[in-house]
Structure 1
Amino acid sequence: MVVFLVWLLWPADPTKREREYRAETACLLTGEKGVADPDAAPVWAGMQEASVVTHVKVQYLEVSGPQTAENAETFLASLAQSKCDLILTVGSVPVGALRATAARFPSVHFVGIGGGSAADNVSVVSVDGPDSARRKTKELVASLAA
């Protein structure tokens, strides 16, 4: 009985660093170089910075195989079907897949970073270099927590 009480009253593990995330998820689609691509790296950095502050989940997926908009549509649809609340695209191939894919998923918000054309559920964010891309992406992801 004494052992049970000691165990029950023992303080929680202070080294435990479990992080509780919000229900919202922001996703990024990149070209074949993933987040190592010079255009994608600052976007991913902004997403991670926003996640630390807001606890919004972030993830990315890179287009593998032929680097065409048609092939990228499959990967973009995969993110939309995996319940991403906000899907960001960066690079000519992922951005090229935006319009066709977004039309199939009207309840998902898509964003073309640095390119694309706006539509009902597609926004386009112009950036002026890596710092601008990081900052604007951080603001977009943080808006999910608002």
Structure 2
Amino acid sequence: MTLLHVRDMNVYQMYRHNDLRYGFWIVRDSWGNTLARITEIEGVSEGSKIKGRYPYYGNPKVWADFYDLRTLQLVNQRCEVSCPGTYAYQMVRLSRELALALGFTPEEAGCLQEPVPSVAAPDEQPIHYLLPSCFTEWS
């Protein structure tokens, strides 16, 4: 799997980075072959700021849909994400091929636009790029 890493964020910071929109994708260092799509933060309507003090905001619950990268199947829908305030998560952008394999249009999945950058600008927020090679390297 190829990831471009700039800097760590917790899930609440990722929501802010994603322009206060749900539907972004995360992986966690302990998950192995699992990918999650964030669907909800407790008490937060999409497009609204999270109430509370940055960067943890009172630790509201976060829910996601979880996918197995080996089978490309949904394994848990609207499941609570554990410890969303930790920095063990990485935000990823799916390749078009992976989005289609998971049953999403590239637009729904927030896919990368071609060409994929090889480095991030110094002022960019952390984004990790999940490319098609994940099929072999995550097995």
Which of the five TM-score ranges fits, normalised by the shorter chain?
Answer: under 0.3
More helix by share: 1
Q: TM-score, normalised by structure 2?
A: 0.28
| Higher normalized contact order (CA 8 Å, seq sep 6+, divided by chain length) | 2
Q: TM-score, normalised by structure 1?
A: 0.27
